[in-house]
Amino acid sequence: MTKKKGVFQKFSLISAGISFLLAIASGVMLYFQVESVGKDDPVSASFMASTFFFICVGIVLTVIGKADLPSFKSDNSEIDRK
């Protein structure tokens, strides 16, 4: 049985997708930067770090968004019957 995802979990999945897109964009920019100035340039290193960061953030947000979290709502149906 799958529980309904909350607003924050849906937002987490959307943010994960955006993060993966930014990782792809950073990787493309890294490719063009390495072609023009080489991999030892500080800008190339920052694109490498950005790509790694966005991939890791995307993985974490995907795990958060797909987690099966328990409901923390209190069930007062037993109290109402008394």
- Look at residue 31 and tell me if it is in a domain: yes
- Look at residue 27 and tell me if it is in a domain: yes
Closest residue by Cα to residue 19 from 11, 31, 30: 11
pLDDT at 73: 73
With 0.85 as the threshold, say if the pTM is over it: no
Q: Which burial class, exposed, middle or buried, applies to 34 when counting CB atoms under 10 A from its CB (0-12, 13-18, 19+)?
A: middle
pLDDT at 39: 82
Q: What is the mean pLDDT of residues 21-41?
A: 93
Structural domains counted in the chain = 1
Per-residue tokens: 27: 């990787």
- Look at residue 48 and tell me if it is in a domain: yes
Q: What is the mean pLDDT of residues 49-78?
A: 86
- Percentage of the chain lying above the pLDDT 70 cut: 87
- Look at residue 81 and tell me if it is in a domain: no
Range of the domain at 40: 21-66
pLDDT at 60: 97
- Look at residue 34 and tell me if it is in a domain: yes
Tell me how far apart the alpha carbons of residues 60 and 46 are, in angstroms, rounded to a whole number: 21
pLDDT at 42: 92
